[in-house]
A and B are shown apart, each in its own frame.
Chain A
Amino acid sequence: MPRFAAGDDPGASFPELLRRMGIEPFPAAREALSQGGTRHLDNALRPDGALPHATTCLALTYAGGVVMAGDRRATAGMTISHRTMDKVVQADDLSGVAIAGTAGPAMEMIKLFQLQLEYYEKVEGQALSLEGKANQLSMMVRGNLPAAMTGFVVVPLFAGFDPLVGRGRLWDFDATGGRYEERDFVATGSGQVLAGTVLRVGWRSNLTREQAIDLAARALWEASDADAATGGPDVLRGIYPVVASIDANGWSRVPDDSLASTYDTIMREVRAR
């Protein structure tokens, strides 16, 4: 049972606790530091390596909350390495996180982030504010910076409902841990420009939840149409993007059959073009 002296207590930080117990929470970053960065950041951002990469994710606000969405494809170079990856996951009751970048460190970071939020809540007896959560994620991304310099880039999106201001808020991050709050929408990953353009054209203030979900589905459709690393709806296997909304009542994932009918509509429209 881990016990610490009063001046030596790791407090409510789970990664710090891991370090005290001799477990490195970001092993790729430590390895990169010990070897010195060899690849350039520009190369690292392109998903052309041999390791699986996760790509396009987006988030947008609507009246009363936020919608997050992400495709399901992971690619390793020219190969589709995984078809059912969940890049958008619930972080806690009122927030979610989406990750683009090298899949291994990205999934590990999501896991650590979820643990950290719950750990903080239990140790301190109350949950972090939404801003505090975004800050925690930024510190984790910064902790991964040495690994990012050698190619293991992780760039998350964070979104949630902020009860202190009574609306949805969203943040994107860069590989250095830079944290940017966006007002309306944001997209990240290899399909960032394509999905971002659809959001830019289609976003209006005070969208309804249904409209926001529809817009997110269309943005991912256009991204998958022109970006090989972004997966579209896989009708053959019944695999659809992860789309979820977060409002005052919490996280709610859009069921696959509802997405199936959304994409049916989109495909019909595309056929009629």
Chain B
Amino acid sequence: MSMPFYVSPEQVMKDRADYARKGIARGRALIAMQTPTCIVIVAENPSTTLRKVSEIYDRIAFAGVGKYNEFDQMRVAGVRAAELRGYQFSRHDVDARSLANQYAQVLGDVFSASGPKPLEIELLVAEVGDSPDNDRLFHILYDGTLLDEKRFCVLGGDAEGIAKRLDASYRDNFDLAAAIRTAVAALAGTERTLSADDLEVATLVRNGRRRSFVRCADAEVAAALR
């Protein structure tokens, strides 16, 4: 009878983390950014039908990088969790923190125990508040690590390089066009240029209306980049 080789738990976790990180690094990145009038989410995504950024609830948006089918399942699960909570309690009782915790739990669970492989995704749960101080940007990593970010948040391949570029150019008084321009420049880096066709842009508008999620049309993005 053959005996399986002993593999230390450290090695198992490291292999799983490497596997997930490689999958995520292959995908294109996205940026979420706070501005005085909205939270803007700019994703590099040439597809106009397979969305990376979507609406979860009245003031909450979702964005995912990595394997599309995996984060899209998470998106639908998030819509369901939010709608069920709103149905059972009230629309005011649905918040990003609770959703982000639930995502972290699922991702952590799949990473360490229940899945044959970790999910190759990173998620963003953003909630717009009545002022930028009350905005929330939650970044959930493949292993369930939950980060509470301020100002901006970068997910996906080469996140560190993009964050470094963005850190130098970010201002907290951007209008929407300037925010899109800055985000696109950070995503593209010095050697590439991105046009409106390569981008998916959506905002959570701070206007007090019930559904704050608004997608930006290609023409609007192109005008901002001009």
Using known A-B contacts A1-B102, A1-B103, A1-B105, determine if residue A122 contacts B56 with beta carbons closer than 8 Å: yes
**CB <8 Å contact, A3 and B84:** no
Query: Is A7's beta carbon under 8 Å from chain B?
Result: no
Q: How many A-B residue pairs have CB under 8 A?
A: 40
Using known A-B contacts A1-B105, A2-B84, A18-B87, determine if residue A119 contacts B77 with beta carbons closer than 8 Å: no
B28 CB to nearest A CB, Å: 19
A32 CB to nearest B CB, Å: 22
Query: Which residue of B80, B86, B87, B105 contacts A2 across the interface (Cβ within 8 Å)?
Result: B80
Pairs A-B, 6 closest by C-beta atoms = A1-B102, A2-B80, A1-B81, A122-B79, A1-B77, A3-B77
**CB <8 Å contact, A119 and B79:** yes
Query: Is A78's beta carbon under 8 Å from chain B?
Result: no
How many A residues touch B, CB cutoff 8 Å? 14
Name the residue of chain B whose CB is nearest to the CB of A121: B55
How many B residues touch A, CB cutoff 8 Å? 21
A-B contact pairs, 12 of them (CB 8 A): A1-B80, A1-B103, A2-B81, A14-B87, A17-B80, A111-B87, A115-B83, A115-B86, A119-B83, A122-B56, A123-B79, A125-B51
14 other A-B residue contacts (CB within 8 Å) besides A1-B102, A3-B77: A1-B81, A1-B106, A2-B77, A2-B81, A14-B87, A17-B83, A18-B87, A111-B87, A115-B86, A122-B54, A122-B56, A123-B76, A123-B79, A125-B51
B143-185 Cβ-contact flags toward A at 8 Å (1 or 0): 0000000000000000000000000000000000000000000
B82 CB to nearest A CB, Å: 9
Query: Is B78's beta carbon under 8 Å from chain A?
Result: yes
User: With a CB–CB cut-off of 8 A, which chain B residues contact A125?
Assistant: 49, 51, 54
* Chain A facing B: main interface SS: helix
User: With a CB–CB cut-off of 8 A, which chain B residues contact A23?
Assistant: 87-88
Query: Is B73's beta carbon under 8 Å from chain A?
Result: yes
Name the residue of chain B whose CB is nearest to the CB of A21: B84
A125 CB to nearest B CB, Å: 6
User: With a CB–CB cut-off of 8 A, which chain A residues contact B49?
Assistant: 125
